[in-house]
Chains A and B, each alone.
Chain A
Amino acid sequence: MARFLAVSNRKGGVGKSTIAVMLAHAAAAWSRQRVLVIDLDTQCNASLMLVGGLGWERAGRAGRTIADYFFDRFDKVAEDESAYVLKDVGDVAHARGAPGRLCLLPGSQRLEDLQGELLLRHSKKDLDADAIAVQVRGRMKRLIRHFGMDFDVVILDCPPGLSFAALAALDLADHVIVPFRPDFVSQFALDRVALLIERVETAEQLAGIAFSERRYSCLANYLSGTGHERLLIDQLALDHPLLAARIPRLESIARAFDWEETRQTMEQKYADAAPYLRALHDELLGVPQLRAASA
């Protein structure tokens, strides 16, 4: 069974999709894992990074997106979910015959509308709104879990908002990576997403959970090496588990996601960001849940 790794933060612009795609490439190329990216964000950035605009549009026309999957299979017994998955995506070359591969369940701008449709569909039944919401989330979670049979790692790229799909993903995830920019507003976002992930309501309750027991770790992203960043990271480290790996603000990362038809090695694609990505990859594969998956 795959391990489910969510990349989430309620704040936008912290690099969630970038980190999700970088990790997916790294797991497929460096540890030869079978990796699936599920794009739950209606911005669909992870999909665009992995198959380009045309590939994403084709997937939408063919009915092969996360919204189609939820809509088609919501009330049915899930079968042959692989029909929705685009295989061998991304622009990173793997060694010939290497088992590592990267697949994508593309995102859809219709996912938010679909959530409303599913709610309405179930509101006919004799249930209150909260119960319906729990039911829809629970079904989405089970539908996502079906992909666990065919992959070693499933990376869930979550949207910034709290859609049902995002909540289902957070509930399902074995571990959640929370990228953040070390600025004033980010600390509030981290505090809030931590409560959500750990299913507690107050900071005091959160403080009662040892770092080693938490389901999430925070990743400092877009670092430029200022004293302000150092200050804030030290403050955040009092309340949240932080990954030792950190990602600097690098032009090579921004450039890495210009869609390329030609395949490159990891080192070509990520250039001077490759060592930072390697550190992140190595550290995350050291997370017990993920290590178990790769054993």
Chain B
Amino acid sequence: MTTAKTVAFTTSQLEEVRRLQGLYPDRRGALLPVLHMAQETFGWISLDVQEYVAGLFDLSPAHVHEVVTFYTLFHQAPTGRHVVAVCHNLSCHLAGAQDILAHLRRRLGVEVGETTADGRVTLQAVECLCACEAAPMAQVDDRYELNLTPDKVDRILEGLR
């Protein structure tokens, strides 16, 4: 994703920000939800986005930066159009998560943490996603993909454009 977009929410998004802020006894409780909105809108959370969001809350950009950098789901750099996050914690490890990761590295030609040259997929290895009954598993964008095999991984990759 390039950063051609201007960093600003639309009028209706700003209404949503105010609605979210009103749900909490202190409006800054809405910071995580608004950062999720910002990521969905701008693709990732750049320093410019952090400064913009800080302004919506009368917070210092440093506070927002501290929050953004604390949580794994906030992207501080552009990602691919799809994010494939393979769980490599205990139950998935026992079910062969390393083989799934090796297969993905080979098929995508990237290492963990990298994005394919065509910008299609970012590969991650993540801690327990709490679907251990269906190990090995991965989160692909918003979905959980369960009981992975190399064949199933290939079918999933074909569906990612």
User: Is A bound to B?
Assistant: no
Chain A residues with a Cβ under 8 A of chain B: none
Chain B residues with a Cβ under 8 A of chain A: none
